[in-house]
Amino acid sequence: MRYRTLGRTGLKVSEIGFGGIPIQRISLEEAGAVINKALDLGINFFDTARGYTDSEEKLGAVLRKRRDGVFIATKSMARTKEEMAADIKKSLETMGLDYIDLYQMHNVKDRESLHQVLGKDGALAALKEARENGLIRHIGVTGHIKSLLIELMKTGEVETVQFPFNPVETNDVREVLEMAGKTDTGVIVMKPLAGGAFKNATLSLRYILEHPVSVVIPGMDSLEQVEENAAVGSGPLQLSSEERIALEEEVARLGTTFCRRCEYCQPCPQGIDIPMVFLLDGYYQRYDLKGWARQRYERMKVKPDACLECGECEERCPYSLPIRRMLKEAHTRLG
Ligand code: SF4
Ligand code: SF4
């Protein structure tokens, strides 16, 4: 496994990190095997969040026993000082740790959240206090809106930045990477497979790692995925011309009108789980799992035919997706 420096944190992190969302789907025991495998293959950067149900608990159960040389990152949606201080405490307790290597302000998604976290009684104040007291070692931010992340890096308060980047999601990435370079901010890439839409994981990871990023964190919930992803961290990075063509073909196949599962469109006043509908539709269309996708869809309590066409979701979608039309199409296929 190759290692890169995570900006001015100075941490030497594996090129391939571990995204902690998918382990929510598997048992504690299965998660333990997956996490141990990742460690055995040289992965030393693990990312989770307060909001990922039992992901912190599952990671903590293994990582607190193999703490040396391992870097644990988590994050909280708290916007106030009080809430953030409480969440840091909860993360430490849940994972059974004395300190957390990196604590991130999760999903700073609009100007209001930005002002809140930076304010006198904002989340950042709690993070700085926790860093002074040794409860956390470094402070970072995550989000999808690149202009806000650039603004935060300019304040000099965040040591890392985490955002989605993959071959179909390249908007404003150059600008973020330039600012990260100027401010020596560590770069953590999330959603490297475009929320599961990208089939060829290896090509996508290699494409991302050709850029000046510190670590890319695909989510993993099986030993095979860990092996496949970890192998990228020791194999060749530069894509051959044939591989670049294959990548471009996949980009063209996906187009731009697909859901990245950022969840900004939620909540829908009718209770439609929009990202779940699109996830199942993706399985139906792209993964040859038609029967499985239909079964899961059948079990959804509220289906897209409950849509009132209010349009609120479309106003919130950062990718300007025609959600109402897409929901109708998905319902026709899955219903
Ligand atoms: S347009 Fe339909 S899916 Fe979107 S928020 Fe309104 S009711 Fe929900
Ligand atoms: S529909 Fe848009 S806002 Fe909703 S999860 Fe998908 S990409 Fe995100």
Ordered by start, the domain boundaries in the chain are 3-239, 274-334
Cβ of 311 closer than 6 Å to ligand 1, yes or no, is yes
pLDDT for 283 equals 78
CA–CA gap between residue 216 and residue 208 (Å, rounded): 8
Label the pairing between strands 12-14 and 3-5. antiparallel
Q: Which ligand is nearest to the CA of 107?
A: 2
Query: Which one of 3.40.80.10, 3.40.50.2300, 3.20.20.100, 3.40.710.10 gives the CATH number of domain 3-239?
Result: 3.20.20.100
CA–CA gap between residue 332 and residue 89 (Å, rounded): 46
Cβ of 268 closer than 6 Å to ligand 1, yes or no, is yes
Cβ of 109 closer than 6 Å to ligand 2, yes or no, is no
Cβ of 327 closer than 6 Å to ligand 2, yes or no, is no
Cβ of 272 closer than 6 Å to ligand 2, yes or no, is no
pLDDT for 256 equals 78
Nearest residue (by CA) to ligand 1, atom 6, is 310
pLDDT for 210 equals 96
Structure token digits, residue 217: 């964190």
CB 63 within 8 A of CB 35: yes
pLDDT for 284 equals 85
Label the pairing between strands 18-19 and 12-14. unpaired
Cβ of 309 closer than 6 Å to ligand 1, yes or no, is yes
Say how many Å lie between the CA of residue 115 and the centre of ligand 2: 24
Helices (H), 108-222: 111-118, 123-132, 146-155, 173-183, 201-209
CA–CA gap between residue 318 and residue 260 (Å, rounded): 10
Residue from 168, 256, 262 to probe ligand 2 pocket by mutation (most atoms less than 8 Å from CB) = 262
Strand, helix or coil at 240? coil
pLDDT for 199 equals 78
The tens digit of pLDDT for each residue in 254-274 reads 777 888 877 889 899 999 999
Dihedral sign (CA 297, 300, 306, 309) = negative
The tens digit of pLDDT for each residue in 1-48 reads 999 999 999 999 999 999 998 898 899 999 999 999 999 999 999 999
Residues in CB range of 241: below 8 A, 6 or more apart: none
Which is the closest atom of ligand 2 to the Cα of 278?
6
| Cα diameter, the chain | 55
CB 49 within 8 A of CB 74: yes
pLDDT for 83 equals 98
CA–CA gap between residue 234 and residue 274 (Å, rounded): 38
Say how many Å lie between the CA of residue 326 and the centre of ligand 1: 11
Cβ of 8 closer than 6 Å to ligand 1, yes or no, is no
Q: What is the pLDDT along the chain (335 residues), one digit of tens a residue?
A: 999 999 999 999 999 999 998 898 899 999 999 999 999 999 999 999 998 889 999 999 999 999 999 999 999 999 999 999 999 999 999 999 999 999 999 999 889 999 999 999 999 999 999 999 999 999 999 998 899 999 999 999 999 999 999 998 888 899 999 999 999 999 999 989 887 778 789 999 999 999 999 999 999 999 999 999 999 999 999 999 999 999 999 888 877 788 887 788 989 999 999 999 998 898 788 666 788 789 989 999 999 999 999 999 999 998 889 999 999 999 999 99
Q: Is 98 exposed, middle or buried (0-12, 13-18, 19+ CB in 10 A)?
A: exposed
pLDDT for 288 equals 60
Cβ of 191 closer than 6 Å to ligand 2, yes or no, is no
CB 302 within 8 A of CB 276: no
The region, left, alpha or beta by phi > 0 then psi within -120 to 50, assigned to residue 218 is beta
